[in-house]
C-alpha cells in the first residue's frame, strides 16, 4: 500500500469507471468484439472471463483507447476519449516487458514517470512498495537477476506506483506459480480497499470466483453473461447428493425424475419445492439416511451452462498449458 488514504475521492468519481455500448472491432473478416455492452462500477473488482481468443484483450484495448472501435461508444472515468484519462489509469498488458539491465526500483519509477509521476517521487514510492511487500533485497537488483515471478511483481508495481483510479490487468496471473498468484490476489484486494477500480481479464475461473464482485463472460467476441458471480451461479439449481442404507422402498417415488444413481447413492437437482417432502418420505419409510448434502453450483458449472462446453474446454486447455513446467 502506497498510502493510508483513499487514492481518490469517491464523491467525484462517476458511477461507472468504464462503459462500452455496442462495441464492435474487426480485423479483416474476423470480428474480435461483436456488439459488446459492458459497465464496470467504480470501486469494483470486475473480471472479464473467457477462453484464449475470446476477445478479452481486444475489448480491454478498445475500452482503454489503445485501439478504436469500428462501431459503438465507450467512456473511461467519465471521459468519452479514453486516452485523455491515461495518467489516471494503470495498465498491465498481457505482453510483459522490462529493461533487463534496469534496477527494480528504477524500473518502477520509470513506469510511473510515463504516467506523469516525478522520477524522484517514483523512486521513493518504488522502494516503499518493494520493502512493504517483502522484496527489500531486490530493490537495487537488475531485472535480469530476478525470478520470473519477482519481475512480474515489479511490473505490476510500475502499473500502480502513480496511484491510478483505475487498474486494468490483462491475464495478470499468467505464468505465475501458486504463491505469486496468492500475492497478486492480495495486492488486488489491497488496491480495491483504497477505492481503486480493478478490471482484469482471465481464463482461470478460480481467480474470478475468489476476487470478483461482478463478471462478464465472453466467448466468440460476445458477452454471454454480465452480473454478479452469485447471479451466474444462481442460473443453475443446487445439486443434492444422497446416500441411504436402503436401496429400495416407497421413498423412491419421492425422488425427482432427473435423479441419477451415482457412486452408491443418488444425485439430482434440488426440487423447486425444496428438500422437505423427500426428507419426510425418507424418514417415514425408514430409508436410513447415511449422508445428504446440498451443493450450490460453482462458477465453473455456471460458465459451462452460459458459454457452452466447448468454451469451457478451451479455458481448461489454456490453464493446463500454463501448468506445464
180 φ/ψ angles, rounded to the nearest 5 degrees: -70, -30
In this structure, are residues 145 and 69 in contact, taking their beta carbons and an 8 Å threshold? no
Tell me how far apart the alpha carbons of residues 204 and 212 are, in angstroms, rounded to a whole number: 12
The pLDDT of residue 321 is 57
Tell me how far apart the alpha carbons of residues 210 and 221 are, in angstroms, rounded to a whole number: 24
What sign for the dihedral angle of Cα 54, 58, 59, 60?
Answer: positive
In the chain, the domains with their CATH numbers are 16-229 (3.40.50.300), 239-295 (no CATH)
Continuous H helices in 161-266: 178-193, 205-211, 229-233
Locus of grid cell 463478471: 215
The pLDDT of residue 100 is 92
The pLDDT of residue 319 is 61
The pLDDT of residue 62 is 97
The pLDDT of residue 313 is 80
Tell me how far apart the alpha carbons of residues 38 and 49 are, in angstroms, rounded to a whole number: 13
> What is the DSSP code (8-state) at residue 270?
P
Cell readout for 4 is: 493510508
- Pairing label, strands 45-49, 197-202: parallel
- 325 residues of the chain, pLDDT tens digit each: 444 434 444 445 579 999 999 999 999 999 999 999 999 999 999 999 999 889 999 999 999 999 999 999 999 999 999 999 999 999 999 877 789 999 999 999 999 999 999 999 999 999 999 999 999 999 999 999 998 888 989 999 999 999 999 999 999 988 888 888 898 999 999 999 999 999 999 998 999 999 998 999 999 999 999 999 999 998 889 999 999 999 899 999 999 998 998 888 999 999 989 999 999 999 999 999 999 999 988 898 888 889 888 888 877 766 655 555 5
Amino acid at each position: 500500500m502506497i498510502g493510508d488514504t483513499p487514492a481518490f475521492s469517491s464523491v467525484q468519481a462517476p458511477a461507472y469507471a468504464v462503459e462500452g455500448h455496442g462495441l464492435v472491432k474487426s480485423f479483416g473478416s474476423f470480428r474480435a468484439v461483436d456488439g459488446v455492452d459492458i459497465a464496470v462500477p467504480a470501486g469494483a473488482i470486475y473480471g472479464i472471463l473467457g477462453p484464449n481468443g475470446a476477445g478479452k484483450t481486444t475489448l480491454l484495448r478498445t475500452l482503454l483507447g489503445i485501439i478504436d472501435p469500428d462501431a459503438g461508444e465507450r467512456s473511461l472515468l467519465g471521459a468519452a476519449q479514453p486516452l485523455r484519462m491515461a495518467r489516471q489509469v494503470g495498465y498491465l498488458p498481457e505482453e510483459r516487458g522490462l529493461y533487463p539491465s534496469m534496477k527494480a526500483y528504477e524500473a518502477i519509477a520509470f513506469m510511473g514517470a510515463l504516467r506523469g509521476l516525478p522520477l524522484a517521487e517514483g523512486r521513493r514510492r518504488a522502494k516503499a512498495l518493494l520493502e512493504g511487500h517483502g522484496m527489500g533485497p531486490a530493490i537495487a537488483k537488475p531485472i535480469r537477476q530476478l525470478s520470473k515471478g519477482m519481475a512480474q511483481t515489479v511490473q505490476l508495481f510500475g502499473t500502480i506506483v502513480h496511484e491510478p483510479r483505475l487498474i486494468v490487468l490483462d491475464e495478470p496471473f499468467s505464468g505465475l506459480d501458486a504463491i505469486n498468484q496468492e500475492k497478486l490476489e492480495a495486492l488486488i484486494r489491497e488496491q480495491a480497499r483504497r477505492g481503486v477500480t480493478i478490471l482484469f481479464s482471465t481464463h482461470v475461473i478460480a481467480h474470478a470466483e475468489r476476487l470478483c464482485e461482478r463478471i462478464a463472460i465472453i466467448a466468440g467476441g460476445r458477452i454471454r453473461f454480465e452480473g454478479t458471480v452469485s447471479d451466474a451461479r444462481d442460473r443453475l439449481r443446487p445439486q443434492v447428493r444422497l446416500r441411504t442404507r436402503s436401496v429400495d422402498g416407497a421413498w423412491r417415488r419421492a425422488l425427482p425424475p432427473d435423479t441419477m444413481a451415482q457412486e452408491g447413492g443418488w444425485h439430482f437437482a434440488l426440487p423447486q419445492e425444496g428438500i422437505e417432502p423427500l426428507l419426510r418420505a425418507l424418514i417415514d419409510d425408514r430409508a436410513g439416511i447415511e449422508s445428504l448434502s446440498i451443493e450450490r453450483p460453482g462458477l465453473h458449472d455456471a460458465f459451462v451452462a452460459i458459454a457452452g462446453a466447448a468454451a469451457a474446454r478451451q479455458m481448461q486447455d489454456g490453464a493446463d498449458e500454463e501448468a506445464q513446467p
